[in-house]
Amino acid sequence: MFNSSHFHPMLVHFPIALITVGFLFDLLSMIMKKEPCLSKAGFWLEILGMAGAVFAFGTGYFLTGSMEGEAGLMRDKHELFATLALIFIIVATLCRIVSVYMNKETPGIRYMLLGLFFISFIFISITGYLGGTLVMEYMIGL
């Protein structure tokens, strides 16, 4: 029988990869002096990553069961960093969309957006580490 709590681990890896690679493409684009192909690829990867992050957060929040004890505390930390990551990803991506479509991608705005995506990347990394700890140390989902 299929358990709906499996949706979260199935979906969560896509936004991690998409946002990380999108951030790296944007970083390389800045280093290579506005390489347009890398910048466009980073833009679309970040949009897809944001959409995936919304779905991954939703499946984690609504479709996973409750936990008690140390596992519950670890899940609370995981959920906190997932919420922070989602907020930063949404803000950074919406600001990037606005700057692209208003044709206002000045170096200052690009650096600010790169900083927001870097913070998102850090929060995603922490969230992934805590999620991995839930699976490997507390045998959640196994």
Q: What's the structural domain count of the chain?
A: 1
pLDDT tens digit string along 11-51? 999 999 999 999 999 999 989 986 789 999 999 999 999 99
Q: How confident is the model at residue 141 (pLDDT cuts 50, 70, 90)?
A: low
Helices and strands: H and E segment counts in the chain: 5, 0
Q: Supply the DSSP string of 36-70, one letter for each residue.
A: HHHHHHHHHHHHHHHHHHHHHHHHHHHHSPP--HH
pLDDT tens digit string along 42-85? 999 999 999 999 999 999 988 887 888 888 899 999 999 999 99
Residue 91 has a pLDDT of 97
Residue 63 has a pLDDT of 81
What residues make up the domain containing 127? 4-138
Q: Supply the DSSP string of 91-107, one letter for each residue.
A: HHHHHHHHHHHTT---H
Q: Of the candidates 20, 38, 22, 34, which has an alpha carbon nearest to the alpha carbon of residue 107?
A: 34
